[in-house]
Amino acid sequence: MKAVEQLRESMRKDRQWSFMYSMLDVDLDVSQGVILYLEDVSVSFDGFKAINNLNFYVNAGELRCVIGPNGAGKTTMMDIITGKTRPDTGSAYFGRTIDLLRLSEPEIAALGVGRKFQKPTVFESHSVFENLELAMAGDKRVFPTLFAKLSGEQRDRIHEVLGIIGLQEQTRREAGALSHGQKQWLEIGMLLMQDPHLLLVDEPVAGMTHQEMDRTAELLLSLEGKHSVVVVEHDMDFVRSIAKRVTVLHQGSVLAEGSMDEVQNDPRVVEVYLGE
Amino acid sequence: MGLDSVMKGDKGGQAMLAVLLVVAVVVPILNLVVPESSPWHVSTYTVTLLGKYLTYALLAVAVDLVWGYLGILSLGHAAFFGLGGYAMGMYLMRQIGDRGVYGHPVLPDFMVFLNWSELPWFWHGFDLFWFAALMAILVPGALAFVFGYLAFRSRVTGVYLSIMTQALTYALMLAFFRNEMGFGGNNGLTDFKDILGFDLKSDATRIGLFLASAGALAFGYLACRWIVTSRLGRVAVAIRDAEARTRFIGYRVDRVKLAIFTFSAMLAGVAGALYVPQVGIINPGEFSPLNSIELVIWVAIGGRATLYGAVIGAILVNYGKTYFTGAFPEAWLFALGALFVIVTLFLPKGIAGLVGMIRTWRRSRSASEPHPEVSP
Ligand SMILES: Nc1ncnc2c1ncn2[C@@H]1O[C@H](COP(=O)(O)OP(=O)(O)OP(=O)(O)O)[C@@H](O)[C@H]1O
Ligand SMILES: [Mg+2]
C-alpha cells in the first residue's frame, strides 16, 4: 500500500517532479551561524593550481570582502560556489546540509545563491523592468514560463527592488542604454529578485565614478543582515568603506583574514601587494 | 492571451496579416470568378506559385524564431521541411493506388521497379491522411528533439552548432539518395494524383491548397508571436544575448532551446507538407545544404527577430528567384549573393529595419523643420 501511495504522491499535478523538489526543498541549515563552507578546495587548470587548499567560511548575514592581487583565484572561487567549475578535491557546503558539488548551476541558483559577474551582463535588449522580471524567483521550467503572468504582488516586488537600486526613473528603458554604473546596479537588483540567501558580487565598482561608488557602498551595506554578501573588489578605498571582515586571497589560498586595519598591517599582505 | 495582446505593438505583423487576408480572399475570386480573357484573371499557375511562396514564408518564420529570438543559427532547417514534405509525399504516393505505371494495387511504382514484394514497415499507415499529417509534424519534431537534446545538453553553440545542422541535412540528403532507403532514391516521390479524394490538377484543389497555406502561415505566425511575447520569449532573447547569465538566473537554458527548436522544426514540417502537393514532387535535393543556407538569407534580407520580416524576405527573394531563373538562369546565385552582401552592409536589420529607418529619418526631418500645423 505504501508504494501505491508514494506513486500517487509522485503523480500529483502540483508537484510533478517530487523527487527533484525533495532535493531542492532541503532547508538551508545555518544553525551554526555559517552559510558557506569551503574546505580544502583545490583546482588546477592544466597543472596550474588556481585554487590551492582553500578554506573559506562565510557567516549568515555577514558582508565579507575578498581582496587579492590579479590571478589570486577570487573569480575561480565564485565559479566553484556557483557550480561553474568543479574542484579537483575538497568540499563545498551551503549551510550544513547542502552539498554544492552535487548540484548544477541552475539548481544552485534556485537554492538562493546569486552571482554578479566581473563584467556586468544585463539583458541589453530588454527593459530594466523585464530584466528584473526574468530574474524573479519562481518556477523557471519551460511550460510554467511560457504561461507565466505577472501578479500584482510580483509587480510590487519589482517596484520595490527598483527603489532599492534607484532605477525607478529608468523602468521602461532598454538596459543596453543604461550607464555603466546603472547596469551594475541593475545586475544587483536582478540578484535581489531571486531572493538569494547568499550574494556573490565580483568587482562591483570597476569603472564607476566616485559618486556611483558611494551609492554602491550604501546599496551593499543596506543588504547586510538580510542577506549574506561576498564582495570581491580591488578598490581599497571602497573596501574600507564597507568592510568589517576582509579575506586576502593569494595564489589560491587564504593569506590573511580580519578587519581592514589588521589585514593592511599584516606584513605578509604588505609584501604580496608591494611585490607586485 | 487574446489576439490583440499577441499582436500588440507588432505593426509590421498586423500589416502582413491584413495583406495576407486580402490576398486569401481576392486571389481565389480572381482565379475562379473572373473569366480567363480578363486582364484581372489570376492563372492557376500563379495561384500555385503564391501558395508555394506562402509555405516558404512559414518556413522562414520558423527559422526566424530560432535564429532571431534564440540565437541559434540553424543551417539545417530545410531538413525538417523536407521530412514534412516526404511524409506528405508518402501519403500522396499511396493515394495513387493502382493508377501507377505498373498498376500494382499497393506498391508505388519505384518499389515495383526495384522488385520489392511488399511495403516496407515504415510505409504503413501513410494511406491515412491524418496519420501522414501527424507524421509530417512528429517526425521533424522528433529529429529536432533528439538532435537538440544531444547538442544543447553538451552546450554546443555558435558556429559549431551551425556546422552540425549542416551535417544533419547533408547526411539526410545522402541517405535519401539511396534506393534501399525506400523513399524513391534520387527521383524522390512524384506523379501524385489526388489528395483527400480531390484531383490535384483541378483549380479548386489548387485554391484549397493555397488557402491552407495562407491559413498555416497565419496560424504559425500567431503561434510564434505568442511565444515571443510570453515570458519564455523574453528568456529566449536573454539566452541569445547572454546565455551564461540566463543560466545563473536559474533557467534551464538547454530545455528552453530544446522546446523552441523542436517547435520550430514542427512548423517547418507543416510548411514542407503543404509545399509538396503544390509543387507535385519531393526529392532528396530538398535536403541540399544550400537550401538551408538560402533560407537563412531570406530571413537576413527580410530582417531578423521581427517574424514578419521573414515573411517579406521569403516572398521577395523567391519572387526574384522565379523571375531571374526565367530571365537569366546563371545569374541567380550571383544576384542572391549580391543582395545578401548589400543587405548586410547597408541594411543590417533587413527590409523590416528599413521601415524603422525611414520613420526615424522622417521624424528627425520634421523635428528640424518648423511645424506648419503648430499654430500659436
Ligand atoms: N578556465 C580557466 N582555464 C585556465 N586557467 C584559468 C581558468 N580560469 C582561471 N584561470 C587561471 O586561474 C588563475 C586565477 O584566476 P581568477 O580569475 O580566479 O583570478 P582573480 O583573482 O579573479 O583575478 P582578477 O583580480 O584579475 O579578476 C589565473 O591565473 C587564471 O589565468
Ligand atoms: Mg576576477
Name every chain B residue with its beta carbon within 8 A of the beta carbon of A124. Answer: 241-242
Query: Which cell is A16 given?
Result: 510533478
Do residues B233 and B69 touch, judged by C-beta distance below 8 A?
Answer: yes
Residue-wise burial string across B361-371, b where 16 or more C-beta atoms lie within 10 A, e elsewhere: eeeeeeeeeee
**Vertex B102, ends B97 and B108: CA angle to 5°?**
45
For B98-131, how does the pLDDT look when each residue is reduced to its tens digit (9 = 90+)? 999 999 999 999 999 999 999 999 999 999 999 9
- A48 belongs to a structural domain: yes
Do residues B172 and B290 touch, judged by C-beta distance below 8 A?
Answer: no
- A11 belongs to a structural domain: no
Task: Give CA–CA dist B53/B305, Å, rounded.
Answer: 20
Name every chain B residue with its beta carbon within 8 A of the beta carbon of A190. Answer: 249
Q: Which domain range does residue A22 map to?
A: 16-274
CB contact under 8 A, A134 and B231: yes
For B239-296, how does the pLDDT look when each residue is reduced to its tens digit (9 = 90+)? 999 998 898 888 999 999 999 999 999 999 999 999 999 999 999 999 999 999 999 9
Q: pTM for this structure? A: 0.85
Q: Out of A106, A140, A146, whose CB is closest to B230?
A: A146
Q: B255 touching A, CB under 8 A?
A: yes
Is residue A125 lining ligand 1, measured as CB closer than 6 Å? no
- A8 belongs to a structural domain: no
Domain ranges (residues) in chain B: 3-368
Is residue A275 pLDDT above 70, yes or no?
no
Domain containing residue A251: CATH number: 3.40.50.300
Do residues B136 and B275 touch, judged by C-beta distance below 8 A?
Answer: no
Q: What is the pLDDT of residue A234?
A: 87
Give the pLDDT band (50/70/90) at residue A206: confident
- A195 belongs to a structural domain: yes
Q: What is the pLDDT of residue A148?
A: 94
- A136 belongs to a structural domain: yes
Q: What is the pLDDT of residue A14?
A: 44
Q: What is the pLDDT of residue A121?
A: 86
